[in-house]
Amino acid sequence: MMNTIKAVSVFFALISVAGVASAGGDAKAGGPKSELCQGCHGADGMSVNPECPSLAGQKPGYIYKQLEDFINGKRHNDTMSAMAGLAGTPQDMKDIAAYFAAQKSMSGDNYMLAPKPDDKKSIAAGKKLYMSGNPRTGLYGCVNCHGKNGKGKSATNQVFPVIGGQSKGYLAKQLKDFREATRTNDPANMMMDIAKKLTDAEIEAITDYLASL
């Protein structure tokens, strides 16, 4: 757990400059540029496929970094690794990121294809894990990086994504990919370290909680 806390501390020290990469994005210009993305991620940033992430209200710097990572091979997905290269210039990518960031923040109430979790016991267990972690296993509370209700720590923090209201299926897959080290583009391997401490039951509960928001 100490390694995770140390890594988090380092990245919080860099938060003031974390949004530099996405500076200058134009949400209005990003609307038409994002049309290729909308087939999976939705015109309003609410995904029409529960296996694809919603981008509505996501941090623009985070979106921009993921596009870069898909392009340079730091992150791999059969679809996105091919599609990211079609996003255009770095300025186009900034504009697309700004467009999705400007949309009303993602919510579990807005998914057409994925029912909002309603298992109250699982949601309550997930909230407890999200807020406090699991001291017995050294699991770090998600709230420390992702903020209250998973909506981010602050407007200037572009490192840690918005996850509250995200699709349950997508969240669960990412946590398992981090745990299995098949996704490796997180800062200082922070999420890999955290996910390795999660059981399947804990992933189920945490994703129920986050997708219910």
What structural domains and CATH numbers belong to the chain? 2-15+111-211 (1.10.760.10), 18-105 (1.10.760.10)
Spatial neighbors of 6 by CB under 8 A, at least 6 apart, are none
Nearest residue to 161 (alpha-carbon basis) of 175, 182, 176: 175
Contact in structure between 133 and 196 (CB atoms under 8 Å):
no
- Name the maximum alpha-carbon separation found in the chain: 49
Spatial neighbors of 44 by CB under 8 A, at least 6 apart, are 56, 103, 104
Report pTM: 0.89
* CA distance linking residue 24 with residue 80, whole number of Å: 24
Contact in structure between 108 and 213 (CB atoms under 8 Å):
yes
Q: Show pLDDT as tens, one digit a residue, over the chain (213 residues).
A: 545 555 455 444 444 444 444 567 999 999 999 999 999 999 999 998 888 999 999 999 999 999 999 999 999 999 999 999 999 999 999 999 999 999 999 998 877 666 788 899 999 999 999 999 999 999 999 999 999 999 998 888 999 999 999 999 999 999 999 999 999 999 899 999 999 999 999 999 999 999 999
Q: Taking the CA atoms of 60, 145, 179 and 73 in sequence, report the sign of the dihedral they define.
A: positive
